[in-house]
């Protein structure tokens, strides 16, 4: 049986693309974290104002 040997060759451009993609991923994650924090702050505000009504809106009625 013949064996094949594969040589891993990477170009500098490919490495640069990976770095650029990683930076974009980090920025996207930071924005997503900010958005989630904003939503959680809004929920906290609603709960501080009227927790009972907020909870009632999530109670199942009639097997829903």
Residue 36 domain-assigned? Answer: yes
The pLDDT of residue 21: 79
- Record the pTM: 0.49
The pLDDT of residue 20: 75
How many structural domains compose the chain?
1
Render pLDDT for 12-50 as a digit per residue (tens, 0 to 9).
Answer: 555 666 667 788 899 999 999 999 999 999 989 988 998
Q: What mean pLDDT is predicted for residues 44-62?
A: 81
Q: Distances in Å between the alpha carbon of 48 and those of 16, 38, 62?
A: 48, 15, 28
Residue 50 domain-assigned? Answer: yes
Residue 4 domain-assigned? Answer: no
The pLDDT of residue 36: 96
Residue 47, domain extent = 21-59
Residue 7 domain-assigned? Answer: no
Q: Give the burial string for 40-51 (b: 16+ CB within 10 Å, else e).
A: eeeeeeeeeeee
The pLDDT of residue 23: 85
């Amino acid at each position: 049986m013949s064996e094949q040997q594969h040589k891993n060759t990477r170009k500098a451009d490919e490495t640069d693309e990976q770095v650029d993609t990683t930076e974009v991923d980090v920025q996207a994650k930071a924005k997503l974290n900010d958005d989630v924090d904003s939503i959680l702050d809004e929920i906290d505000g609603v709960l501080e104002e009227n927790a009972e009504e907020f909870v009632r809106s999530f109670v199942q009625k009639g097997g829903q």
